[in-house]
């Protein structure tokens, strides 16, 4: 009898651990809105330099340089919840690893197709970037859409295989570069590809750890150390290491994601005890330590996003951790989640929201459409880009309501 009660309590505890946390969704939504916002800066002129990405080689960062690392950190925050949810459903570790590999493959595929579109040669390929981006994004939607049960298996299969065929055909006809002599290749994997590699390494550690905080801590320290060793040119050359993706071998991006995983472990520990003040104190002290590490490492390798320096890793981790703490208090403690409903779909279907701008940019190029200079300049331009980001969130919500939802 006691064993049965104990088992029931343990099961309920696991369910509570896997319960979706609104503050993580809201923080992800805010980050995605800001990501679309800063990605739209290329359409603007005369905006403050501090909002832009810092140039390569410069010791410093702009506002745009803290968005991507925040997103990676949030990927880590979500990982333990997603894995625990699958365990509760009865999935074994091999089954979870299969899902991790599938998801990584999807992110890498999307990243490679999008990054190739950035350097496509219209004449050599016979297709413009304005056509390339909407086509590949539409294929992504057809392949990885979470189809309703009302859609027959046959129709779903036809749509998915047709989309796969189109992607293969596009990769075959692709030519890029200034002279059109570059074939379809990985380049730097693109933003989604970088997320994919960081997700893979962090997910493997999280699955293996099975809620062991010490393993998660060692994983975070390992990749932070790897980031430092990489910048210090202390990683030896070896055939084995050459086969590792640069994102993993570099350490920095995986360390950002593992920082989120470790923070999620700490977060769940204190939330289970309803110790919100202790949780906040731990996160604030952790942020202070991270800022100190940033200050210590900055003189050696600088503070740079494009350089993926340790100082950038530590500072952005601290900033995101503080923002998460604040979001948790507003959304989950003070129960103000409804105030963010207008952007919530950007946090629950983030990938779809990320792809929406590519359809607009394709239309801009194909129609040679240009907004009046007045609303693409200065602060009016910034308002335009923010409204554009919110429009993408609105479209995501409407697509979700009509049955279009990406799920990988």
> Is 70 exceeded by the pLDDT of residue 138?
yes
> Is 80 exceeded by the pLDDT of residue 228?
yes
pLDDT of residue 239: 67
What confidence tens digit (pLDDT) does each residue in 12-71 have? 445 555 566 899 999 999 999 999 999 999 999 999 999 999 999 899 999 999 999 999
Average pLDDT taken over every residue of the chain: 93
Residue 56: DSSP 8-state: T
What string of DSSP letters covers 347-361?
Answer: HHSHHHHHHHHHHHH
Kindly list the domain boundaries of the chain, sorted by start residue: 18-90+201-401
Q: Which two tokens stand for residue 250?
A: 């570099």
Task: Indicate the pTM of the whole model.
Answer: 0.93
Long-range contacts of 288-297 (CB under 8 A, 24+ apart): 288/318, 290/314, 290/315, 290/317, 290/318, 290/321, 291/315, 291/318, 294/318, 297/228
Arithmetic mean of pLDDT, 362-368: 87
pLDDT of residue 1: 41
> Is 60 exceeded by the pLDDT of residue 3?
no
Q: Which two tokens stand for residue 369?
A: 């459409």
Residue 173: DSSP 8-state: H
> Is 90 exceeded by the pLDDT of residue 408?
no
């Amino acid at each position: 009898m006691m064993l049965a009660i104990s088992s029931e309590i343990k099961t309920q505890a696991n369910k509570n651990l896997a319960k979706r946390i609104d503050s993580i969704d809201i923080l992800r939504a805010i980050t995605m809105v800001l990501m679309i916002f800063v990605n739209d800066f290329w359409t603007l002129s005369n905006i403050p330099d501090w909002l832009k990405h810092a140039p390569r080689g410069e010791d410093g960062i702009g506002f745009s340089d803290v968005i991507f690392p925040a997103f990676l950190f949030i990927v880590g925050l979500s990982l333990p919840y997603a894995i625990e949810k699958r365990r509760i459903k009865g999935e074994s570790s091999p089954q979870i690893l299969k899902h991790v590999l599938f998801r990584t493959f999807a992110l890498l595929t999307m990243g490679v197709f999008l990054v190739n579109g950035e350097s496509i040669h219209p004449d050599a390929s016979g297709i413009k970037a304005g056509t390339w981006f909407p086509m590949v994004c539409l294929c992504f939607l057809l392949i990885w859409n979470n189809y309703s049960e009302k859609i027959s298996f046959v129709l779903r299969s036809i749509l998915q295989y047709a989309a796969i065929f189109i992607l293969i055909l596009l990769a075959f006809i692709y030519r890029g570069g200034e002279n059109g002599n570059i074939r379809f290749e990985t380049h730097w994997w693109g933003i989604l590809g970088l997320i994919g590699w960081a997700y893979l390494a962090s997910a493997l550690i999280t699955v293996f750890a099975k809620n062991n905080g010490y393993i998660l801590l060692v994983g975070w320290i390992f990749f932070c150390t790897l980031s430092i060793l990489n910048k210090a040119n202390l990683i030896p050359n070896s055939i084995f290491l050459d086969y590792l993706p640069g994102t993993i071998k570099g350490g920095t991006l995986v360390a950002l994601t593992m920082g989120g995983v470790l923070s999620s472990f700490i977060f769940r520990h204190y939330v289970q005890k309803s110790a919100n003040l202790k949780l906040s104190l731990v996160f604030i002290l952790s942020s202070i330590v991270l800022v100190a590490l940033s200050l210590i490492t900055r003189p050696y390798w600088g503070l740079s996003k494009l350089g993926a320096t340790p100082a950038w890793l530590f500072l952005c981790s601290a900033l995101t951790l503080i923002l998460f703490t604040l979001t948790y208090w507003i959304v989950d403690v003070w129960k103000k989640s409804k105030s963010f409903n207008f952007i919530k779909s950007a946090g629950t279907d983030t990938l779809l929201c990320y792809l929406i701008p590519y359809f607009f940019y394709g239309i801009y190029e194909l129609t040679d459409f240009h907004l009046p200079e007045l609303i693409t300049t200065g602060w009016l331009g910034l308002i335009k880009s923010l409204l554009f980001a919110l429009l993408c969130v609105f479209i995501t919500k409407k697509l979700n309501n009509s049955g279009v939802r990406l799920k990988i």
